[in-house]
Amino acid sequence: MSNLSPVATIASLSAHEGQTITLRGWLYNLRASGKLLFPIFRDGTGTIQGIVPKAAVPEEVFETLKNLTLESSVIVTGKVRADSRAPSGFELDVEGIEVLQRVPDETPFPITLKEHGVDFLMEHRHLWLRTPRQSAILRVRATIMRAAAEYFDTNGFIRTDPPILTPNACEGTSELFEMDYFDDDKAYLTQSGQLYIEATALALGKVYSFGPTFRAEKSKTRRHLTEFWMIEPEVAFLELDGLLELAEGFISHIVTTVLAQHRADLKVIGRDVEKLEAVVAPTPAGERGPFPRLSYEEAHAMLEDAFAKGLIETRHQDGDDFGSPDETYISSQFDKPVMIHRYPAAIKAFYMQPDPLDPSKALCVDVLAPEGYGEIIGGSQRVDSYDLLKSRIEAHNLPLDAFQWYLDLRKYGSVPHSGFGMGIERAVAWICGLDHVRETIPFARTLNRIYP
Ligand code: 4AD
Ligand code: MG
């Protein structure tokens, strides 16, 4: 009988009101109340509650459902009925059920509606993904990735894919995953595509890369993964001010897209959407409200002031990077992402262009997300002088021969150019309002976990 009615998805039930349809999915939950069963089915697109009165269905349908174990796979037929109280707006009057695989009684689905510890959930990540909140996060992640690429695709950028196996470091040598590369050679998993897309930017003008990146992070924080996805634009003839504009337009597009497409998912996740709306709220003139911009010096002064007033515990030392509590304090002063520029060159990467007005500062930017989420974007204008770059490589004790090709870019038609990288998982954590990046990616890789 299930073959006769049209196959529908839970997300598309509004097109089938009053019709008998077939759903293919899993039993998510089951409540029984005397001669009434209330199974909840899920199919990947959503969940729907079924109603099964004993008197209204064939005996074997009632008996099958009554004893069905959670997460058994099923094909269900039933009539779609609008119900304003239901989260999806509909309920299903179940008429028939076919069980594809019944979860054995001896090995019930390990994840129940009761609270589980994080370790348990991560150990069962392959099954945890099925729960509504985790599925909602993955849907939002997919949209963030699509909107991020879309912003560059529709603004004249060419996607160029850098290699994952590389002969040298990009972001410091202490966090490199090393592997043997035939005979006597070593290769390293890429930390960032930047150096390579500097080459493609000088070939194509405006480019971006989007792929997995790797850092052998020994730190156990809620922001660090050892494998994460980075999207990186790189633009010839772009200087720091233009880079800040680009980052602002890029983040605004992503937040706008998520708000337009994922209200229901954000609700399941428990996100306070007003905080996101503030990010893209227009000015009274109706324009997109600008993100605040602070120099490192201004940010430092803000922290000095906060320390004097007893608002933060540890004093920030001028010249040091900002710690997590510093970033949290700074970002809590604004309801939009904050762009901090011109950090001391000494604490930043070797490839950053010095500020001509104060060469001890780098023409760089970190974008801090609101609500204490910290850095989501790091970027800079790049050194464009051959001699300066060469001396930087030497001063950082990096192997000159591995960087000869990178130096070539400053020998053959060097131009000012800039770019940034955004970690997708940091963006997902902020936009979804999550405590930890481990929930932002299907299978997180961290210092202590590489299973499942
Ligand atoms: O600030 P980072 O290290 O900058 C770069 O890699 C530059 N080469 C990018 C560029 O200019 N093209 O990293 C960029 C972003 C960070 O802001 C953060 O969002 C993310 O990558 N990120 C991480 N995300 C998760 N886990 C980690 N261990 C991360 N390290 C960096
Ligand atoms: Mg950074």
Check residue 3 and give its pLDDT: 57
Tokens, residue 305: 């002031």
- What ligand has the least distance to the C-alpha of 364? 1
Does 376 sit in the ligand 1 pocket, CB within 6 Å?
Answer: yes
- Spacing, Cα 170 to ligand 2 middle (Å): 12
Check residue 286 and give its pLDDT: 76
Does 217 sit in the ligand 1 pocket, CB within 6 Å?
Answer: yes
SS3 content of the chain, % helix, strand, coil (to 5): 35, 30, 40
Q: How many CA atoms lie less than 13 Å away from 359 in the CB half-sphere?
A: 2
pLDDT in tens, 266-324: 999 999 999 999 999 987 777 777 999 999 999 999 999 999 999 999 999 999 999 99
Does 423 sit in the ligand 1 pocket, CB within 6 Å?
Answer: yes
Does 327 sit in the ligand 1 pocket, CB within 6 Å?
Answer: no
For the chain, the domains span 7-101, 125-440
- What ligand has the least distance to the C-alpha of 224? 1
Tokens, residue 437: 């990046």
Check residue 1 and give its pLDDT: 47
- Spacing, Cα 418 to ligand 2 middle (Å): 15
State pTM to two decimals: 0.96
Q: In CATH terms, are 7-101 and 125-440 the same topology? A: no
CA distances from 149 to 233, 237, 239 (A): 10, 21, 22
Tally Cβ neighbours within 10 Å of residue 155. 14
Low-confidence ranges of the chain (pLDDT < 50): 1-2
- What ligand has the least distance to the C-alpha of 375? 1
Contact status, residue 312 vs residue 323, Cβ threshold 8 Å:
no
φ, ψ for residue 11, nearest 5 deg = -70, -20
Query: Buried b vs exposed e over 59-94: b needs ≥16 C-beta within 10 Å?
Result: eebbebbeebbbbbebbbbbbbeeeeeeebebbbbb
Q: Would you identify the CATH topology of the domain 125-440?
A: BirA Bifunctional Protein; domain 2 (3.30.930)
Could you tell me which residues come within 8 angstroms of residue 300 by beta carbon, excluding any fewer than 6 positions away?
316, 318
Query: Residue 191 CA: which ligand 1 atom is closest?
Result: 6
Strand, coil or helix: 395: helix
Q: Would you identify the CATH topology of the domain 7-101?
A: OB fold (Dihydrolipoamide Acetyltransferase, E2P) (2.40.50)
105/171 Cα distance (integer angstroms): 51
Could you tell me which residues come within 8 angstroms of residue 387 by beta carbon, excluding any fewer than 6 positions away?
none
pLDDT in tens, 61-107: 999 999 999 999 999 999 999 999 987 789 999 999 999 999 999 99
Strand, coil or helix: 230: strand
Contact status, residue 331 vs residue 338, Cβ threshold 8 Å:
yes
Q: Which of 152, 191, 192 to mutate to test the pocket of ligand 1 (most atoms within 8 A of CB)?
A: 192
10/29 Cα distance (integer angstroms): 15
424/177 Cα distance (integer angstroms): 20
Q: Which of 145, 171, 222, 439 to mutate to test the pocket of ligand 1 (most atoms within 8 A of CB)?
A: 171
φ, ψ for residue 336, nearest 5 deg = -120, 165
Tokens, residue 106: 């001896």
Does 421 sit in the ligand 1 pocket, CB within 6 Å?
Answer: yes
Check residue 53 and give its pLDDT: 97
